[in-house]
Amino acid sequence: MAFGRDVMTSKVAFIGLGNMGGGMAANQAKAGHAVAAFDLSAAALERAGTAGCTPVASVSEAVRDADVVITMLPAGPHVLKVYSEQIIGVAPSSALLLDCSTIDVDTARKVAGLAREGGYAFADAPVSGGTMAADAGTLAFMVGCDEADFGRIEAALEPMSRATFRAGDHGAGQAAKICNNMILGITMLGTCEAIALAEKLGLDPVKFFDIAAKSSGQSWSVTTYYPWPGPVPTAPSNRNYDGGFATAMMLKDLKLAQDAAAKSGASTPLGAQSEALFQLFDRLGYGGRDFSGILQMLRGKLDELPKG
């Protein structure tokens, strides 16, 4: 049964059940799809089973009867290897292939070419929104695909999405993602610097939130992810910067942006400075902490933040 025609009988293969993929796969199951889930982590497979997915022992077992294959993998080399060796030629040629990983544009286009040669419809469809949105099914998807395939892709992503955009042809989804996250890295650093300065000047950071959230300093980093505990109850700042969007992942995206800038000849001085600061935070031992925890480095309070 083709995906989208009969919700209860659509077969989804979900590969990669980490912090993001686990919630995404669970939402496919909640929508009524039969989800065959695979990950190298036994604990991740167990969580997927509890969420209504069917854990399987290999990628090939997951994809062999799939209507849709969704991957959420760490980096470009993993995506290329899994698609070239374990998905293309194993999944039915009628299957829709969706890579939701954040990788470099060149690799996304290479995988798209391999998929096309195999007779598959493919899209790079990275996400924005973090783990909370992955769990809630409210991610934003940035899609690079053939225009004729977008309707089918949008329907396949709907259980996980609050908004799905066709950014352009193959690779455009990855381009949109790395540019978007460069904005996020820069604005988070600006927010953290402003909070650190406000504190030094005797201004309560909670009062500063009330002001910045309704004036020209407003941004997503302020109103949705404020890095000081209290004003945004769901923000990782209320959990000692545990969970959320790991610093190592932000650093990965900023590196992708800088690599793309170097190849294209774009000038991105603030992006470069953001990469340098997050790299320092990561090297100090905080790569597993939410990226908004860099506030503690800027405040000179790293002794109050557990490494991880």
pLDDT given at position 159: 98
The Cβ-side half-sphere exposure at 26, using a 13 Å CA radius, reads: 23
Q: Which of 81, 177, 252, 307 is the catalytic position? A: 177
pLDDT given at position 8: 44
Return averaged pLDDT per consecutive 10 residues of the chain, 308 residues in all: 48 96 98 97 98 98 98 97 98 98 97 98 95 93 98 98 98 97 98 98 98 98 97 96 93 97 97 98 97 98 94
Asked about 177 being catalytic, the answer comes back as yes
The tokens describing 191, both together, are 């927010």
Q: How many CB atoms lie within 10 A of CB 253?
A: 23
pLDDT given at position 130: 84
pLDDT given at position 308: 87
pLDDT given at position 4: 43
pTM: 0.91
